[in-house]
Structure 1
Amino acid sequence: MGGQKFAVLLCAEDSDYVKKMYLGYFGVFVRMLEEEGEIWDKFRVSNGEFPEDEKIGEYDGFVITGSGNDAHGNDLWICKLLNLLKKLDGMKKKVLGICFGHQILGRALGGNIGRASSGWDIGITNVYLQSSATFRSLKLPASLSIIECHRDEVLELPPNAEVMAWSNKTGIEMFRYGDHIMGIQGHPEYTKDILLNLINRLLNRDLIQESFAEEAKSKLEGNEPHKEAWKKLCIGFLKGRM
């Protein structure tokens, strides 16, 4: 199914580690999602770099990444991104939102987002999939583990959206809106080494305490996310195969 064109909307600065190991977050996403014959572009929306209005139609799908910023904030680029997402919804473009991307989609479509009352979720979390034809067609199990790193969440779904997955900590781990928009709270694209590096960065910035960081790291040992299943799910959604 070559010739399709996708854009990654980057909402975070690349860490030195991710730059060195994966050529930035763009590289991490392309590694998970790219198939032969496709074109992948990147726009650093958090730096004010957006696709031009007349070019939006050329893309088959968009991916919105995680971010260190709050999706409930009102920075100029976040407001511009909200406008773009409303436009993409109107055009029925495929949009996949990850972590911050999941939350900003929830906000753009009229849901409610904010700080999670249960605090940070960092580590590998088991999420339970809604029994649906979507997942059955991909032959997915009833639950999947995923890497998480967030303290905000979608508190209330947008009208007409449906919960596709939940966990013991987060009620909306994944939602779908129509056939064209999907949000995932966890990080299907992350590897454990990316998360370990991120835990150290959060600790250095005093965003988490040392005891919490050590506990999060120890829980990663001997625990693996279902990366292949998430990859299949993300590709299946983005490229209209489910």
Structure 2
Amino acid sequence: MHTPLRIAVLECDTPTPNTNAKYGGYRGVFESLLKASARTLEQPERLNPDTDLEITGWDIVNGEEYPKLEEIDAVLLTGSKHNSFDDLPWIHRLVEFTKKAITHNRVRVLGICFGHQIIGRALGAKVGRSNEGWEVAVCDMDLTEQGKDLFGLDKIRIQQMHRDIVFDYPPDVIPLGHSPRCAVQGMYSPGHFVTVQGHPEFNGDIVSEIVGLRTEAGIFSKEQSVDALSRANNPHDGVAIGVVFLRFLLQGVE
């Protein structure tokens, strides 16, 4: 009998109200994605979706406790409404923990949106606001040759919700892809981490709720809102990306 895959989800934000009520935090959102991805993987002898995923959530915005690396197999850094470049105590703690996690000889790391940017920052890359503005809802991510090999696709369709970016690839990192509004859409270090700027865990309902609230708050214009909502429910490759994540994590426990 093999042991469960122990994944610590570092919750860098709280979801919007309806999403939070449905999933119980971003831990639940990612549990939904990873279980769906495990079912699609169709390798129950390696990863049973019902018994072999041990997913814990860690509120690292409001709390200071982090998982012990020797007690987990993987760390997942979620997206966030917060800025990855801010000079705040909790973000400094997160960056320092991330440095330890991505250099660990066994633990593997996944970075999503804000988490992708935090990994970039931990590696010394510049992170900040893009001059290209928001990238929202289902968009195309053009893959590098290495990205095509990793994902097994020529192009990725992925939900987006960002205007912050990693400006340049850190040294010794494999570029995975780009889009017209973001040159660094994903990073890969074999045996250490995989990141994407987009949100494989988001679905049309989640994106539509965020767009609605940000439109009400004046963050998105009416035109931006209409455009985003027109693409929010388009087909995307979230589960396929989740399958790649699981394959990557399983390599570390074999």
TM-score normalised per structure 2: 0.87
Indicate whether 1:230 and 2:250 are aligned: no
* Counterpart position of 1:31: 32
Match of 1:156 among 165, 168, 171: 168
* Runs of 4+ deviating beyond 3 Å: 134-138
* Counterpart position of 2:60: 45
Q: 1:181 deviation in Å?
A: 1.3
Q: 1:179 deviation in Å?
A: 2.3
Structure 2, unaligned runs of 5 or more: 36-48
* Counterpart position of 1:216: 228
Q: Which moved more, 1:165-174 or 1:43-52?
A: 43-52
Q: Distance in 1 between matches of 2:238 and 2:118?
A: 23
Q: Distance in 1 between matches of 2:249 and 2:60?
A: 20
Indicate whether 1:113 and 2:127 are aligned: yes
Q: 1:85 deviation in Å?
A: 0.6
* Counterpart position of 2:91: 78
Match of 1:192 among 187, 191, 204: 204
Q: Distance in 2 between matches of 1:220 and 1:16?
A: 18
1:105-144 map, 5 Å: 105-132=119-146, 135-136=148-149, 140-144=152-156
- Pairwise CA RMSD: 1.9
Q: Distance in 1 between matches of 2:243 and 2:57?
A: 22
Q: Distance in 2 between matches of 1:39 and 1:188?
A: 19
Q: Distance in 2 between matches of 1:157 and 1:78?
A: 21
* Counterpart position of 2:101: 88
* Counterpart position of 1:207: 219
Give the 3-state SS of the residue equivalent to 2:177 in structure 1.
Answer: strand
CA contact (8 A) 2:9 2:27 kept: yes
Q: Which moved more, 1:180-189 or 1:201-210?
A: 201-210
1:52-71 map, 5 Å: 55-71=68-84
Q: Could you tell me which amino acid in structure 2 is paired with residue 16 of structure 1? A: P
Q: Distance in 1 between matches of 2:185 and 2:69?
A: 28
CA contact (8 A) 1:145 1:225 kept: yes
Q: Could you tell me which amino acid in structure 1 is paired with residue 34 of structure 2? A: L
**Residue 137 to residue 174, structure 1, CA distance change in 2 (3 Å):** closer
Structure 1, unaligned runs of 5 or more: none
Q: Could you tell me which amino acid in structure 1 is paired with residue 134 of structure 2? A: W
Give the 3-state SS of the residue equivalent to 2:145 in structure 1.
Answer: coil
TM-score normalised per structure 1: 0.91
